[in-house]
Structure 1
Amino acid sequence: MFSSLKVRNYRLFFLGQVVSNIGTWMQRIAQDWLVLSLTGSATAVGVTTALQFLPMLLFGLYGGVLVDRLPKRRALLFTQSAMGATGIALAVLTLTGQVHVWHVYLAAFAVGLATVVDNPARQSFVSEMVGPDQLQNAVSLNSANFQSARLVGPAVAGVMITGVGTGWAFLFNGLSFIAPLVGLVLMRSRELYVVERAPRGKGQLREGLRYVAGRPELIWTIVLVGFVSTFGFNFPVYLSAFADDVFHAGAGSYSLFNTLMAVGSLAGALLAARRGTARLRVLVVGAVAFGALEMVAAIAPSLWLFALLMAPIGMFGMTVNVTANSSVQMSTDPAMRGRVMALYMMIFMGGAPVGAPIAGWITDAYGVRAGLAAGGAIAALAAVTVGLVLAKVGNLRLSVGWNRGHPHVRFVPREVQEQLAAAA
């Protein structure tokens, strides 16, 4: 489960991200709370979130082109420094009482700009640290790292905001970037897997898009992730509405739903690390299970049944995320990896801003149960469709049988199934 941590360079990277991810979650909570206290407007909080994601939607593909041209470790040293400086600047403004809401907007947009390069660089740099054999495990542990921070960071931020104020949470986040920067500096260059960088030239963005379009295992994986993230991952809309409007239970239950989902996500990431390989059938089955569980949760009659379903929903959602991420990386030529991962992350992260208003409209018009059921149904239908398309492209047929007393469902090449039928 933790085999990639034997690699010294990756171990340094992982430990740095442990500290930095906690700081990132603390800043997210503190940032939203500060904007709400300055303006009293939930819309202003939404604007802050949108500004942080907007650069990835606008410039994400160009960030991928830069990542393919640049040394990734050097690029990460720059982006991590920039994000740390942004946190410290916001801390100084807040602690001195000079902060205004436009400062927070500017900081959120600046972090978003850094993310345009930082995200694809971090994603693709993993393969240079651990190589192809440990890639699935390392990607899974990165997700487990992020989900662990999701459990710790908001709790620490809540205590810090209540005790000493939001400015200290921003300061912790800014200083937390020292850990990954030290890790990057201490890495041994000779132990990194050498990847040929793309030369500077015209048409590299179009070249990346053509590359993805010509690879069914890439394009359909990204399409599936797009549907699941856009329509299935709108939990801020659904969970708050279930806690308040359906079960009339307040903020405590909303926090419980998110905590159980984070626990399930952490379990899903660790299980993916243990599997060691990324298979498209795991991606398709995980997405079908994720959508089906959302539909079941939509009709859950009691708060506790709904809460218990959050853990497996989080687990299968993380299975989809990790499997798709590692599958795309392992199927991509190293010289194209920055551009492909930029497209992947743009679709994955861009799904929420697009899907949230749609989910909100369905919830307002037909109720939150209908909204969650519709999101799950679309995710499951997309998974089934993508599975059938990939089976057709690969000339596969569905094989159903029994193996040691257990049902065994898999896709096999058409000629193999015909040989098995003839032998029977």
Structure 2
Amino acid sequence: MSSLRLPRLSSLRALRHRDFAFILAGATLSNIGTWMEVLALGVYVTKVTGRAEWTGGVAALTFLPAIVLSPLGGALADRFDRRRYVALGTALELLLAGTLATLAFTGRLTVPAIAVVSFLNGCVTSLFLPAFTALIVSAVPKDDLHSALSLDSAQYNLGRICGPALGAAVVTLVGVEWALLTNTLSFLAVLVGLAFARGATSTGTPPTGSLWTGIAEGMKVAREDPGIALALLGTLLVALCIAPFTALAPVMAIRVLNLDAGATSLLVGAQGTGALLAALAAGSLADRFGRGRLLEWCVLLIGLMAAAYWLSPSLPVAALAVLGLGSLYMLTNTGLATLCQTRVPAEMRARIASFSGMLLYAGFTFGVWLQGALADRLGVRLVTASAALSFFVLAVMLRSLRPRAFAVLET
């Protein structure tokens, strides 16, 4: 695999590898378009329905299929050429995005239509995202894996910075339909990146048994490896208690702070900025403190930071708090993902990634719906801050009962 000459900053090491750089560039442009769509649809649903339950519920539909389909997607990804498999999934996402844009331009966009397309998009993502994770892992050597996953998170969160700002401008100036069209076209960037990344494909020996046998083998590895088991549990709890803040930004801006789409854009962008800065520093922080210690402190602090965000009295305070929350969220998820991927052979990477995705989406789906529904009845601040503080209590209990719980990250 060819490499590019870049500075030796540890967080950027993965960019030396040509295939990874092409894949990352395509994904970055696509995610900017995706976050334009997320903001446009979030604002649309919130304004049309006026209910946090609907905003959270529609967002949850994107992740609901992963509860069932992620393990199947992981098993399929370990059997095929991952580059072509990801290209197929991207083409389907382009088709679904185009459907929303067409409905908007023809004046037929409705909340039920958004819900249906969101669910179908969740099905596609569930089946193909494990392959994308395994693809970027196979594009770099093991020593650069933490850098690759950090940069992948960075590009995702760069979309959070640019996408909502562009989305808010487009929605304000020319309407929701143009934001949806921009997202549709952005998927072409992924296809171009994959076309140039010809060296990134499957590695290892593909499984020869049935799909269900492959899934069972992956579950056995995940259950028996203490590091992977701990990482998967952490992924579930973060998704359940903390992650809903990503989908409920319109609720925070519009219902809690009594502002508009511009405030939503600012909050989402601040979260993305924090995550991007953390991603660029992740490699250096891990080298200095160790991956285990870094993850331990992130797990202990993220609940307190989330509570501070939800209890913020004004937009500037909320933006500052979500900047820190975005940083901790990125470092926590990257640390958990790195642990999973470094402890499995190449031929099982997609399956392990699929289990992580399944728990992430299951926890997020239930968490965002439940927090949204309870917020309509008990109050947004009370429900969301309580969930965040509950996570902090669980983290302290884990730290007390198992003071060396994250030491496996250093092995």
Q: TM-score range by the shorter chain?
A: 0.7 to 0.9
Q: Contact conserved, 1:272 with 1:323, CA < 8 A, in 2?
A: no
Confirm or deny: 8 A CA contact 2:78 2:351 kept in the other structure. yes
How far apart in 2 are the matches of 1:97 and 1:303? 33
State the shift of 1:203 in Å: 2.5
Q: Note the residue ranges of structure 1 that are not aligned, 5 or more in a row.
A: 397-410, 414-424
Work out which of the residue numbers 16, 21, 42 in structure 1 matches 2:26. 16
The residue correspondences of 1:366-381 to structure 2 (distance < 5 A) are 368-381=380-393
**Which residue number in structure 2 is paired with residue 30 of structure 1?**
40
Question: SS at 1:332's partner residue?
Answer: coil
Tell me, in whole angstroms, the C-alpha distance in 1 between the residues paired with 2:250 and 2:135: 36
Q: What are the equivalent positions in structure 2 for 1:75-114 lying under 5 Å apart? A: 75-99=85-109, 101-114=111-124
Q: Contact between 1:295 and 1:372, CA under 8 Å: does it hold in 2? A: yes
Q: Which deviations, in whole Å up to 9, do the C-alpha atoms of 1:308-358 show, x marking residues without a partner?
A: 333222211211011111121112222221121111112122222212344
The 3 A distance-change label for structure 1 pair 389 and 331 is farther
The counterpart of 1:352, out of the listed 341, 346, 364, is 364
TM-fit CA distance, 1:368: 4.7
Q: 1:284-306 CA distances to partner (integer Å, 9 max, x unpaired)?
A: 21110112334455666666545
Number of residue-to-residue matches in the alignment: 397
Q: TM-score, normalised by structure 2?
A: 0.84
- Which of 370, 383, 405 is the matching residue for 2:395? 383
Name the structure 1 match of 2:3: none
| Residue 280 of structure 1 pairs with residue 292 of structure 2 | yes
Q: How does 1:167-186 map to 2 (within 5 A)?
A: 167-186=177-196
1:131 aligns with 2:149: no
Distance 1:211 1:231, change over 3 A: same
Paired residue for 1:342?
354
- For 1:103 and 1:52, the matched residues in 2 are separated by 13
Task: Report whether the alignment pairs 1:197 with 2:197.
Answer: no
Task: Specify the code of the residue in structure 2 equivalent to 1:159.
Answer: A
Separation (CA, whole Å) in 1 of partners of 2:229 and 2:208: 24
1:336–1:192 CA distance, 2 compared to 1 (3 A): closer
Answer whether contact 2:222 2:352 (CA < 8 A) is retained. yes
Contact 2:56–2:372 (8 Å) recurs in 1: no
- What is the identity, as a one-letter code, of the residue corresponding to 1:318? M
1:132 alignment partner AA:
K
> Structure 1's 381 and 158: CA in aligned 2 closer, same or farther, altered over 3 A?
same
Range 305-314 or range 179-188, more displaced: 305-314
Which stretch shows the higher mean deviation, 235-244 or 351-360?
Answer: 235-244
- Pairwise CA RMSD: 3.3
Partner of 1:62: 72
The answer for the alignment partner of 1:400 in structure 2 is: none
Bigger Cα displacement from structure 2, 154-163 vs 71-80: 154-163
Q: Does 1:308 align with 2:317?
A: no
Q: Measure, in 1, the Cα distance between the counterparts of 2:394 and 2:68.
A: 26
Name which of structure 1's ranges 160-169 and 118-127 shifts more when overlaid on structure 2.
Answer: 160-169
Report how far residue 150 of structure 1 moved.
Answer: 0.8
- Which structure exhibits the higher relative contact order, with contacts defined as CA atoms closer than 8 Å and separated by 6 or more residues? 2
Superposition pairs of residues 118-157 of structure 1, within 5 angstroms: 118-157=128-167
- 2:198 equivalent to 1:188: yes
The alpha carbon displacement at 1:82 in A equals 0.8
The secondary structure found in structure 2 opposite 1:194 is coil
Tell me which amino acid in the other structure corresponds to 1:19. Answer: L
Q: What secondary structure does 1:234 align onto?
A: helix
Aligned to 2:337: 325
| TM-score between the two structures when normalised by the length of structure 1 | 0.82
Quick one: distance in 2 between partners of 1:91 and 1:238? 23
Quick check: 385-394 or 284-293, which moved more?
385-394
Residue type of the partner of 2:32? I
Q: Cα–Cα, structure 1 residues 395 and 172, in superposed 2: closer, same or farther, change >3 Å?
A: closer
The alpha carbon displacement at 1:240 in A equals 6.0
Given that 2:60 and 2:369 are in contact with CA atoms closer than 8 Å, whether structure 1 keeps it comes out as: no
Q: CA deviation at 1:244?
A: 6.4
- Mapped partners of 2:256, 2:120: distance in 1: 38
- Per-residue Cα deviation, 1:105-159 (whole angstroms, up to 9, x for no partner): 3322221111012211111111110121111101101111111111111222222
Contact 1:261–1:310 under 8 Å retained in 2: yes
In the aligned structure 2, how far is the partner of 1:41 from the partner of 1:367? 14
Tell me the alpha carbon deviations over residues 194-226 of structure 1, each in whole angstroms, 9 at most, x when there is no partner: 332222424222222121110111111111121
Code of the residue aligned with 2:203 in structure 1: it is V
The equivalent of 1:265 in structure 2 is: 275
| Deviation per residue, 1:50-102 (Å, 9 max, x gap) | 33222112222221111122221111010001111222233233323455555
Distance 1:372 1:194 in 2: 42
Q: In the alignment, is the contact (CA less than 8 A) between 1:284 and 1:386 conserved in 2?
A: no
Deviation at 1:264, TM superposition (A): 1.5
Instruction: Work out the percentage of aligned pairs sharing the same amino acid.
Output: 27
Q: Distance in 2 between matches of 1:302 and 1:34?
A: 23
Q: Deviations over 1:169-199 (max 9, x none)?
A: 222222211111111112233x667332222
CA distance in 1, matches of 2:260, 2:40: 21
Q: Kindly indicate whether the alpha-carbon contact (under 8 Å) linking 1:224 and 1:383 is maintained by their aligned counterparts in 2.
A: no
Instruction: Give the equivalent residue in structure 2 for 1:223.
Output: 233
Counterpart-to-counterpart distance in 2, 1:282 and 1:128? 25
Match of 1:375, as an amino acid? A
